Each structure stands twice: as structure tokens, then as C-alpha cells.
């Protein structure tokens, strides 16, 4: 049994049980940060309908620090009578310092995926399914046992990233086209370069961003041209497809490729021949195609913006990269990695600085985090990054974090009759956005708000009184693509 285990869950990942039916993926909490994180488990699996969090060792989740009450909060299962769906509710147990969710104090709240829960100085996130996969991966990068990926080490992260890297190792030597799906800044090009490096192909990797090149120049860049093919073509130029012969062609943002270029690319993939502009005979090519996009290609096919036959040809294997807001357990490790990359492996991060990194939603993902740490390294001569080194966007987002709301007493209610119990409307934090929340908007309501605000998630969140991350959760629930409203 792993020395990081706590007795909250059963074991995970035993190769001897590969032939057995997959166990049910369970809900639980994943540790995002704590000053004493070495004393905590990386993840806690919910194996009973109720558990408690507190400083006392009798709690199923024990957080051994003085800022935490002996019995601080409880989490219990509740079945929705209309949908029969199991949900989990977090309730503060009248703790001395309160319980926070997404930066606001709460009395009781139904948990949603990626809710950030702070108990004392320990910060967790709620995971609806598959939390057991995170049990072996510590915040400092150490793993109980071995990592699944042995060769592809370019990606930094815990359980989610290790599973993706192991997947890349399996498919890289195969002659499979791959589609990498992920938001801007999630590391799609890192994946493409990893696939090429592990493929064993003798040729080079040639990359092109289909969204960055004007449509009238894209074909000449891909297919090349012959001298005299058009005005200004004073010499032969090989295209990227020819340059990638016996190697890998990486098509970034392929969702933005014009339809006529898609048709020609399909012909290249089918015939293994390329026709440069102005040529009369084809040239043989041996390429492996890897492409990436943040678009919903299946929706684009329905709308006639992308060829279905090309998607079928490219979509032999799919790699999905999660946005950084869905893998915040990797933020500490990533921040330290970027510090080392920019010459400060000794640089420490203050607790307040880490809290800010965890609370922010990172719309531009890992690339934005790298810029944040790079900027901090440039600004500090000391041994630690603190809140003064945060970019303005993060500092602005932290305004109001952890503020206890003012208690407004109705004039007709005697002050002596007000209860301060966790379930009371006047309990600490009861006026915060996380407690005063209405139910989730319907899909139609959310789409109407997105239409009104032209896909601006921050503006939608302000109107609903929610954090950006909560709006993103609803977008994922309803399978809404923000690009449809921008």
C-alpha cells in the first residue's frame, strides 16, 4: 500500500487486475496546496456517504494545522429526487475560521466539479469521477510507484498529464494521424513535437498555423509552387508537405483551414502525392499528419465549415488536453518548473502568491502561467515571489477574495433572534455569492446571456454573480462552444 494513502479509499492501478471489469470511478477531493502538503494525501476518495474534515485524527480527512477546527466541515451524499443523480454537499460545522468555496465563505453548498475548497490553509478541489487516479501523484512531482510515461517527459504535471503522456508513447510509433484538441496555451505543439520525436520517422517536423497565414497564401505554403506559377514566382519553392517527407506535418488550428485547401489536403492523404502550384506531375510524399485545434470539428462538419471525409481521415487518434483551470493540482509544479527554466530554481513562492495562482482561471492556460512566472523572475531580486509580483489581471481577480460579507439585519427582526448556526441565513458567509446563488441557469438562459455579452465569460459571470470557473462548468455541462458567440 502506498505510503501516501490514508485509508479513505481502496487501492488503484494494479496491473494484475487489467482483465477485471473497470471499477466505478469515484468522487473525492484532490489536494491543490497546503503549507504542510507532505503530511496530506494527494487525493481523498469518497467511499462512504458521509465524511468529515478537521484537525482531529478521527476525521476521514485530517488537516493537521491550528487554523483548522477539530471538526471543521462535513461532506455528505444527497440524491436528487428528480434526476436520481448522486450529488455531494459540503457543510461548515461552525468552524472558527470558516470554510471557503471558490474564494467565498459558505455555510452549506452542493459541490460541482472543480469547486475549490479551502479549510484553514489547505486547498482542495472537488472531482466528480476518477479521483482515485490522482492518489499517487504528489504536488512536488514525486509519485508513489512509477509514472506511466517513461519516455515522453516534456509535459509537466500529475495524473492527468501522465496518462496523456503514456498515451502519446503508445501511439507515437504507429502510423496513425492524430487530432490534438485543447484551448489556446494548453501545449498542443509540445504534444505534436513529442509524437514526432517518439515516432522514429527519419524526416523532419514541419509546422504551420493555419489561422496565422492568409488564406490566399496557405496553399502555396503547404503545397509549394513552380517557377512562373503566378506573378512573383521567380523560382521553385517546395511546400511544407514536401519538406515533411518521411517526417511529420503539424497543422495547427486546422479548423481555420479554408475548404478548398481541405480538399487538396485530403487528396494528398489519399494518394500520397502532392501537386505544387503550376506543376504538371505529382510528387510522391510519405508524411504523418498531426493536427490541432480549439474548434469543435464535428460541429464545424454539421455547419459545412469542415469536410467530414477529411475529419474521418485525420481523426484516427484523438488527444484531449485539459485546460489549466481543470488541473490546478499541477500549478505548483509548473510554477517551480518555469522558475528553474528562467534561471531561478531556488525561488520560493509565498502562500498568498500560490493562493492567487490557484484562484485565477487562466484563460490562456499554461502559456499564461509561464508568462506570469517569467515576469516575476524578472521583477524580483529576492528569494521569494509574493503578491506584489502578480500580474494586474490576477491582482484584480483577487479583490474580494475571502472577505466576510456584511450581515444585514432586517429592521423588523430583533437582533437577539438571529441564529449564527451554519445553516442560518445569517451565518458567516451566508451573503456571499457562493451561498446566495440561485440555481444553475437553464441552457436557454445561459445561451441568451452569452448572446447578449458576445461570449464574454467574465461579463456573464458578473451578471449571474458567479466566478468565471462556474460559468465554464455550465458551458461544459451544456456542451456550449464559446466561439459560436464571439
Report the CATH superfamily, name and number, of domain 159-320: P-loop containing nucleotide triphosphate hydrolases (3.40.50.300)
**pLDDT for residue 310:** 96
Q: Contact, 288 vs 175, CB < 8 A?
A: yes
pLDDT above 50 (res 436): no
Q: Tell me the whole-structure pTM to 2 decimals.
A: 0.80
Q: Where are the alpha helices (DSSP H) in 245-330?
A: 259-271, 297-302, 308-314
The DSSP 8-state label assigned to residue 485 in this structure reads G
**Domain residue spans in the chain?**
15-134, 159-320, 324-375+383-390
Which residue's entry shows cell 467530414?
Answer: 308
CATH architecture of 15-134: Sandwich (2.60)
What Å distances lie between residue 119 and 93, 313, 376, CA to CA? 11, 49, 28
- For the domain covering 324-375+383-390, report its CATH number: 1.10.8.60
Average pLDDT over residues 164-189: 95
The CA distance from 468 to 445, in Å, is 16
Angle between helices 331-341 and 365-379 (to 10 degrees): 50
pLDDT digits (tens, 9 = 90+) for 385-425: 999 999 999 999 999 898 765 544 444 444 433 333 333 33
pLDDT exceeds cutoff 60 at 292: yes
Instruction: Tell whether the model's pLDDT for residue 456 goes beyond 90.
Output: no
DSSP secondary structure of 410-471: PTTS-GGG---STTSTTSTTTTSTTTS--PPPPHHHHHHHHHHTTT-HHHHHHHHT--HHHH
Q: What is the pLDDT of residues 92-142, one digit of tens each?
A: 999 999 999 999 999 999 999 999 999 999 999 999 999 999 999 999 999
Query: Residue range 141-160: average pLDDT?
Result: 94
Q: Residue 52's closest CA among 43, 41, 67, 63?
A: 63
- CA–CA–CA angle 410, 415, 417 (5° rounding): 100
| Cross-strand partners of 51 | 75
Amino acid at each position: 500500500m502506498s505510503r501516501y494513502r490514508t485509508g479513505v479509499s481502496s487501492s488503484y492501478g494494479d496491473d494484475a487486475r487489467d482483465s477485471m471489469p473497470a471499477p466505478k470511478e469515484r468522487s473525492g477531493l484532490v489536494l491543490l496546496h497546503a503549507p504542510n502538503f507532505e503530511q496530506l494525501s494527494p487525493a481523498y476518495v469518497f467511499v462512504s456517504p458521509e465524511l468529515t474534515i478537521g484537525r482531529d485524527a478521527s476525521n476521514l480527512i485530517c488537516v493537521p494545522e491550528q487554523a483548522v477546527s477539530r471538526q471543521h466541515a462535513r461532506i455528505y451524499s444527497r440524491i436528487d429526487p428528480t434526476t436520481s443523480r448522486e450529488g455531494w454537499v459540503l457543510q461548515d460545522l461552525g468552524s472558527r475560521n470558516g470554510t471557503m468555496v471558490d474564494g467565498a465563505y459558505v455555510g452549506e453548498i452542493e459541490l460541482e466539479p472543480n469547486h475549490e475548497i479551502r479549510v484553514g490553509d489547505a486547498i482542495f478541489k472537488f472531482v466528480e469521477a476518477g479521483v482515485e487516479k490522482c492518489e499517487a501523484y504528489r504536488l512536488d512531482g514525486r509519485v508513489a510507484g512509477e509514472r506511466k510515461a517513461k519516455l515522453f517527459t516534456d509535459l509537466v504535471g500529475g495524473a492527468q498529464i501522465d496518462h496523456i503522456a503514456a498515451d502519446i508513447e503508445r501511439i507515437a510509433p504507429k502510423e496513425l494521424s492524430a487530432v490534438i484538441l485543447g484551448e489556446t496555451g494548453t501545449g498542443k505543439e509540445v504534444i505534436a513535437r513529442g509524437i514526432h520525436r517518439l515516432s522514429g520517422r527519419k524526416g523532419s517536423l514541419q509546422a504551420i498555423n493555419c489561422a496565422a497565414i492568409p488564406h490566399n497564401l496557405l496553399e502555396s505554403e503547404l503545397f509549394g509552387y513552380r517557377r512562373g506559377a503566378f506573378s512573383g514566382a521567380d523560382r521553385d519553392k517546395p511546400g511544407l508537405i514536401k519538406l515533411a517527407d518521411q517526417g511529420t506535418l503539424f497543422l495547427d488550428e486546422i479548423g481555420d483551414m479554408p475548404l478548398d485547401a481541405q480538399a487538396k489536403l485530403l487528396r494528398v492523404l489519399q494518394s500520397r502525392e502532392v501537386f505544387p502550384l503550376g506543376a504538371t506531375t505529382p510528387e510522391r510524399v510519405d508524411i504523418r499528419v498531426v493536427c490541432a485545434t480549439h474548434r469543435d470539428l464535428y460541429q464545424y462538419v454539421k455547419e459545412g465549415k469542415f469536410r467530414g471525409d477529411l475529419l474521418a481521415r485525420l481523426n484516427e487518434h484523438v488527444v484531449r488536453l485539459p485546460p489549466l483551470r481543470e488541473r490546478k493540482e499541477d500549478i505548483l509544479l509548473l510554477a517551480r518548473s518555469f522558475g528553474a527554466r528562467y534561471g531561478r530554481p531556488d525561488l520560493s513562492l509565498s502562500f498568498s502568491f500560490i493562493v492567487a495562482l490557484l484562484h485565477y482561471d487562466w484563460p490562456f492556460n499554461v502559456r499564461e502561467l509561464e508568462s506570469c512566472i517569467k515576469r516575476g523572475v524578472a521583477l524580483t531580486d529576492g528569494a521569494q515571489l509574493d503578491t506584489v509580483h502578480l500580474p494586474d489581471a490576477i491582482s484584480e481577480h483577487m479583490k474580494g477574495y475571502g472577505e466576510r460579507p456584511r450581515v444585514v439585519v432586517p429592521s423588523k427582526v430583533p437582533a437577539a433572534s438571529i441564529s449564527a448556526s451554519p445553516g442560518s441565513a445569517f451565518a458567516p458567509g451566508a451573503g456571499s455569492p457562493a451561498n446566495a446563488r440561485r440555481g444553475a441557469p437553464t441552457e436557454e438562459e445561459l445561451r441568451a446571456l452569452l448572446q447578449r455579452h458576445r461570449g464574454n465569460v467574465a461579463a456573464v459571470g458578473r451578471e449571474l454573480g458567479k466566478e468565471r470557473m462556474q460559468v465554464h462548468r455550465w458551458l461544459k455541462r451544456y456542451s456550449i462552444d464559446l466561439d459560436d458567440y464571439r
